Amino acid sequence: MKFSTALDVDVVAHESADEVSILIELEAPEAPTTERAPSALQIVLDRSGSMSGPPLEGAKKALAGVISRLDPHDVFGVVAFDNEAQVAVPAGLLTDKGRAADLVESIDSGGSTDLSSGYLRGLQELRRAAKQAGISGGTVLVISDGHVNSGISGVDEFASLTTKAAADGIVTSTLGYGRGYDETLLAAIARSGNGNHVFADDPDAAGAAIGGEVDGLLSKAVQAVTLTVRFIPQVQVSLYNDLPAHQTADGEVTIELGDLYGTEARKLLLKLAVDGMSGLGVAQIAELDLRYVESATLTEHTVTLPVTVNVVPGDEADGRIADPRVQSEKLYQEGQATKLRASEAYERGDLDAGSSYLEASRDSLISSAMLAAPAERSAIDDELSLIEELGTVGATGDAGYVSKMTRDSYHLGNRKRGRRG
């Protein structure tokens, strides 16, 4: 596992309030080339009335493809839900792929949308079958096209459920299908569940998204990745990336990164507010502990890196020059935060505010690109093209589409920053 850091400045002013940003870059090892460990995948599929026709048929076709790709030693199951949950494919070892595919094909559309019923029943199925198969953890993939109108509907309540599942090694990802689903809820479920959130506008896009989730599952290289930041009393830590984080002790914060597929790259950006260092010279202000489990051997690893700065008189600190890579990432994340506000504005139908936030996001990304390396600049240029396209679509009044596309882009640019396709 590659693990490196870069500071925007490595010099801070003596006995003065100051700030240091840390760019953290990770890269997982290659996925195992020998026989992989068994996986557990539980599908929670919305079969409410609005999924009738091409949406449900497209999802079933994609699931048939998933079944064909999994191995007999993998656990697979499907819970379908409308106003109640129904076990469509009992979770278990995939020893009879034909029967599993037939059961998926028999799923019909029904009534309203009780996502909590489906999710809770899916968790029960996954826990039971994974335990019987001797598999630790697993993945729940929620596929829905609508707003919850029955059962639990609050973001915080759902986040509590998926956080508890994540603590047991169960990742929850969400696929929002079409333009009518609640992007705030599905994105929050994925965030607290250490999973992915993807928007699919049509059956082909949904099939590709489901296939992508399976790609990650089958090429998983490291699991249960966490970054613990320990810092001295004069330091306060904040995170630019919207990831699950919790204080584990005084002067200690742990950030949850979930699982990484083979050679997956990730970036995090931390801000350390330094409240006046009393001594001059080199000082360690924090320590970073990266912990992960190697999928191939289930071996746990810990890598530790110190964070040090040079404390100098204020007049010497005034002449420091920030690292352009870290400065570029700060501007990039400012652009992502503004993009999220654009999504929220479009979601509530405020086209003027959404357009204004998109423009502000564009300005931050342009500034970021000016400081970025060529490879990074090319990716930012692609993102700028998307923002321009979404601004044009938003002006036509299609707020739902723009809201979902900007939320999808934010997920990749902030929560999964650095991930390659």
The answer on pLDDT for 60 being more than 80 is yes
pLDDT at 268: 97
By CB atoms closer than 10 A (0-12, 13-18, 19+), residue 274 is buried
**Does the pLDDT value for residue 297 go beyond 90?**
no
88 and 203 belong to one structural domain: yes
Instruction: Label residues 143-176 b or e (16+ Cβ within 10 Å = b).
Output: bbbbebebbebebeebbebbbebbeebbbbbbbb
Can you give the pLDDT at residue 5?
97
Give the domain-ending residue among 285, 317, 349: 317
CATH no. for residue 306? Answer: 2.60.40.3670
- Per-residue pLDDT tens for 269-285? 999 999 988 889 999 99
Q: Which among 197, 218, 239 is the end of a domain?
A: 218
180 within domain boundaries: yes
The number of domains in the chain is 3
Q: What's residue 421's pLDDT?
A: 43
* pLDDT confidence bin for 371, thresholds 50/70/90: very high
Average pLDDT, the chain: 93
Distance CA 21, CA 4 (A): 14
User: Do 398 and 289 share a structural domain?
Assistant: no
pLDDT score of 83 more than 60? yes
Shared domain check, 289 and 191:
no
In this structure, the answer to whether residues 94 and 214 fall within a common structural domain is yes
Mean pLDDT for the stretch of residues 93-102: 97
Q: Are residues 189 and 99 in the same domain?
A: yes
Higher pLDDT, 92 or 136: 92
Specify if 420 maps to a domain: no
> Does 341 score more than 50 pLDDT?
yes
What is the pLDDT, as a whole number, of residue 172? 96
| CATH of residue 166 | 3.40.50.410
Residue 281, domain member (yes or no): yes
Tell me the per-residue pLDDT of 203-259, one tens digit each, with 9 for 90 and over: 889 999 999 989 988 899 999 999 999 999 999 999 999 999 999 888 999 999 999
Is the Cβ–Cβ distance between 333 and 269 less than 8 Å?
Answer: yes
DSSP result, 131-149: HHHT---EEEEEEE-S---
Residue 178 scores a pLDDT above 90? no
By percentage, how much of the chain surpasses pLDDT 70?
99
Considering the entire predicted model, what is its pTM? 0.90
Q: Do 238 and 208 lie in a common domain?
A: no
pLDDT at 152: 78
Does residue 112 share a domain with residue 98? Answer: yes
For residues 208 and 157, membership in a common domain is answered with yes
The answer to the question of residue 73 being in a domain is yes
Instruction: State residue 420's pLDDT score.
Output: 60
pLDDT of residue 325: 96
Q: Note whether 138 and 111 are same-domain residues.
A: yes
How do residues 315-331 score in pLDDT, each as one tens digit?
888 889 999 999 999 99
Residues 360 and 404 in one domain: yes
337 and 306 within one domain: no
Boundary residue ending a domain (317, 348, 370): 317
* Least confident interval from 66-70, 192-196, 296-300, 400-404: 296-300
Range of the domain at 96: 40-218
421 in a structural domain: no
Q: Longest Cα pair distance anywhere in the chain, in angstroms?
A: 74
Establish if 283 belongs to a structural domain.
Answer: yes
Considering only CA atoms, which of 267, 269, 273, 268 is closest in space to residue 237? Answer: 273
Asked if the structure places residue 228 within a domain, the reply is: yes
CATH code for the domain of 341? 1.20.120
Is residue 98 pLDDT above 80, yes or no? yes
Is residue 114 in some structural domain? yes
Across residues 288-295, what is the average pLDDT? 94
Q: Give Cβ neighbours of residue 9 (< 8 Å, ≥ 6 apart).
A: 20, 309, 320, 321, 322, 323
Same domain flag for 20 and 50: no
- Split at pLDDT 50, 70, 90, the class of 296 is confident
Q: Say if residue 89's pLDDT is above 90.
A: yes
